[in-house]
A and B are shown apart, each in its own frame.
Chain A
Amino acid sequence: MSQATQRHDDTDEETLIEVRNLEKYYGDDGMFSPPPVKAVDGVDLDIKRGETFGLVGESGSGKSTLGRTLLRLEQATSGTVSFDGTDITTLEGSDLKRWRRNAQIVFQDPESSLNDRMTVGEIVREPLDAHDKGTERERRKRVMDLLSRVGLREEHYYRYPHQFSGGQRQRVGIARALALEPEFVVLDEPVSALDVSVQAKIITLLEDLQEEFDLTYLFIAHDLSVVRHICDRVAVMYLGKIMEVGETEELYEDPVNPYTKSLLSAIPRPDPTDESERTTLPGTPPSPRDPPQGCQFSTRCPAKIRPEGFEEVSEETWDAIERFREIVRERTRVELGTVDRVKRRAGLFSKYDDIDEAVKDLFDGVERPPVVDDHLTYAVEQVKAGHPQDARERLHEAFGSVCDRERPAHHQVGDRGRESYCHRHREEYDDVESAIRR
């Protein structure tokens, strides 16, 4: 770990990549098309030259899309990515091709990332061919050189990917990424498809290569311990948004964002005397087609701010209400068929009668004080009548807090460039730690 901090001190503080308000939406914006999937939903990032920047998050959080958008494998919907001062989201034609030499990618799955009808030599040489680098002979020499640098042998030149193990294939992928001498390499979960014993070797190789070629890495992963080992700074992503960003050790030792806290508490600790409580997240992330109006994490947040007027409601009841809201939200995403619509109009709709079961389960042994009971009863009726959207809106009106209504800002925490995306950092609210402990 000291190695990580030390390495950080070596890097000059010059910014290589500056991402501002980057958005990547999938889907058409036509009048009749469903709302777009907001894979990357307004991201600001600075990646410094020579550092290893980690990007972690659950699957579906948009971390791979962010990486691919930085490489122009996806066209950004809006926002800018400036690479060494050039905005690369607008590059076209030969400018784009020339820029591509600077940024390469290593993929997660070594089975899919190598064309297995080509020999290893051809695969590694292809970037050189595409950019007409040197003569035939020079290219070959360069490929041989690259192969030995990544720990393969020269005679592997004429072998096919089929003849290699996963780890060896990943080395080929790394050699290909380095062929054009890029400054910046996106490592998209480069070790998660490999055996644990091989993972360590590939990580070491990546570290060595970074030193040798002065590379800047964007390390995308869901394995938190690998990230802690290799990265200088880390950003935590959830539903297309950066929740917290900061220096690795600081962030791991003392997470300030509720999402980071719960994510990190999921890492098993080998210390039996460790008393810290695990924060388990309820439910699943909401659909990126229909993200919450306020904070992206508000549907699952253990430190969610309660609106005024409900101070007397017990913790259990409040939890049950939040779970109930999630169930209603899920219901609103189901498209009704024609028959159901007709039934709804005729007042014969019975498809959602099971909501009674759900409410019974949720509020079993939990008191329902009068301040909440009216709203709940109304919501249940609306759902049963086939109008979950009405129920959802009523619940939002009644129980929605600042977390449900407003997007938080990125708050500076500490003095080392740490930022966290949470309303709790505003002065009028209790801080995250005490909110979770409650």
Chain B
Amino acid sequence: MEEPTSRFDEDSTLRSRLEADPEPALRWAAVMAALALVQIGSLLGGLLSILDAAVVGVTAIFDVLFGLVGLTGASAAVVDVQSALSGAVTTARDAAEGLPTLLSRETIPNQGHLASADGPWVDTFLGLEPALAWAVRVLLIVGYSLFTFYWLFRGWLVFRAHYRQADWTPTDDMIDRLRDHRWGQFGIFVLALFLIMALFGPALGPTTVSQNIVSPYSHEVTYFNADAGAVETVAAGDANFNSKSKGAGDQNVGPMTYDNFNRFHPFGTLPNGRDLFTFMMGGARITLIVAGLAIGLSALIAGGLAMVSAFYGGNIDLTLLTTADGIVSVPRLLLLIMISAIFANHWLAGVLDGGFLLALIFAFTGWPFLWRAVRGPALQVAQEEWVDAAESFGQPPRTIMRKHMFPYITGYLLVYASMSTGGIIVGLAALSFLGNGLGITPPTPAWGRAVSLGQSYVSGPSWHISFIPGAMIVVLVTGLNALGDGIRDAIDPESAGGDDDEAAAGGGA
């Protein structure tokens, strides 16, 4: 493992190393730039949307704080600043979204209509039929995104091979083990797929959420009316009304079929005639945002408190233990329903269509499970002598936890977080399934609501309404569990199950 000399001069900087051998970096950067360029519009748009949300969020906090201490004048000023800033950002975003983007609905349109009973198709990409045009766009978007994810990883590989000072780090071994872990890779693939759905949802669907679901009567659909033998225009809402899937033979638009308005439905339609695929893409976005926020917050609380209880121990640990047990002792779904009901008319319930409140509830009911799981490893690290060593030269507790304990529990945190995310997703779906003011506020799409809508048609021709959302939830949750398994085996090879590993270990010993 040891080489006689190191690869670089000990004093070299990353810059000097880049200058010494720029070729691999340039090759990587060129491809990356090309990838970014074709999507520049939506990339900038996305970044500016995040910035906008951040501006609104931060100013809202000040607004609330000033309101609490009674500075109404300051509060009003903050609102002015907020609207001014947000307006500027929104203008910039609109400009950015005006930039041409390769993988957009506009570049590869699929919404067209027949010019006559035998065609041709008008307004679609290259005159292809809508199903094909849609398929081309979806394949391109998924392919593009997967390749971009890979290329980002590739960037790290290039850095590791050509520019990193250390020729080996403990992370290398973990990544290498994950590269041989098929089940874990399946998890990564599934998570990537759903992330793509959340990110590119509006471009993936055959139609958009606003056109088809939120305000169908402000949008029109042009189609070839076979009965009248002419091209006609109708409000999307009216078209939806006549494309319902209600289980009967004449009232069903199944997966991969067209309705009577020349619209293609990859997953069929809902009982109210809306497009299920578009609904699912919208649902993916809200699901992943809520689940991500919830698990992120949980992990933050759990990790922090686990280190605190391991480092200080004693009464602090005992207090945390009691608190955690108290939270755990109330059934989670019951707690979710109660808190949702209490906050039903609070302004918090309006943020992210109720998703933000749900994320907070999931986080504050979920951290005890994570905390329990990582407290063990944290206690173990706290016993290590390097923690004493850091204390002996006067490192403050905060730094000790961050530098000497956190790196050892992140792995466990990732494992347990990815496994519990499944629970959050199922819980969220359950709330939306129950409806009645619980879960995500309609009409914003939510997976659980789709399952609930299709409940009475499961055993008929409209089986797709419940089955497809249900199957997608199962796939995502399975994928997250697979990811957790993969990370666990990567950080701790000794925990890997299976006889092969044991045999190999025995042979090596």
Contact = CB atoms under 8 A, between A and B. Distances in A.
Q: Do A and B bind each other?
A: yes
Contact of A107 (B1, B388, B393, B404): B388
Contacts of A109: 385
A100 interface: yes
A112 interface: yes
A100 B393 contact: yes
A68 B392 CA distance: 9
Interface stretch (A2-10, A126-134, A359-367, A408-416): A126-134
Interface in B391-405: 391-395, 399, 403-404
B11 A140 contact: yes
Interface in B364-401: 384-386, 388-395, 399
A144 B168 contact: no
Interface string B1-29: 11001100011000000000000000000
B98 interface: no
Q: Which one of B2, B392, B393, B407 has the highest number of Cβ atoms from chain A below 10 Å of its Cβ? A: B393
A131 B5 contact: no
B393 A160 contact: no
Interface stretch (A115-123, A200-208, A378-386): A115-123
A371 to B, nearest CB: 51
A157 interface: yes
A127 B393 contact: yes
Given A112-B385, A155-B10, A126 B165 contact: no
B320 to A, nearest CB: 19
Interface residues of A, number: 40
Contacts, number: 85
A71 B394 contact: no
Contacts of B385: 107-109, 112-113
Interface in A122-148: 126-127, 130-131, 140, 144
A130 B166 CA distance: 23
A158 B166 contact: yes
A405 interface: no
A149 interface: no
A68 to B, nearest CB: 8
Given A117-B170, A126-B393, A131-B393, A154 B10 contact: yes
Q: Which one of B2, B169, B384, B386 has the highest number of Cβ atoms from chain A below 10 Å of its Cβ? A: B386
Interface string A86-124: 000000000011101101110111001111111100000
B170 A105 contact: no
B408 interface: yes
A142 to B, nearest CB: 13
B288 to A, nearest CB: 30
Contacts of A101: 393-394
Interface string B164-178: 011111100000000
A114 B384 CA distance: 9
A63 interface: no
Contacts of A98: 394
Contacts of B407: 115, 117
Interface of B: 1-2, 5-6, 10-11, 165-170, 384-386, 388-395, 399, 403-404, 407-408
10 contacts: A100-B393, A107-B388, A112-B384, A113-B384, A126-B390, A127-B393, A130-B394, A131-B394, A155-B5, A159-B2
Given A126-B393, A126-B395, 10 more contacts: A68-B388, A113-B385, A113-B389, A115-B403, A119-B166, A131-B393, A131-B394, A158-B167, A159-B167, A163-B168
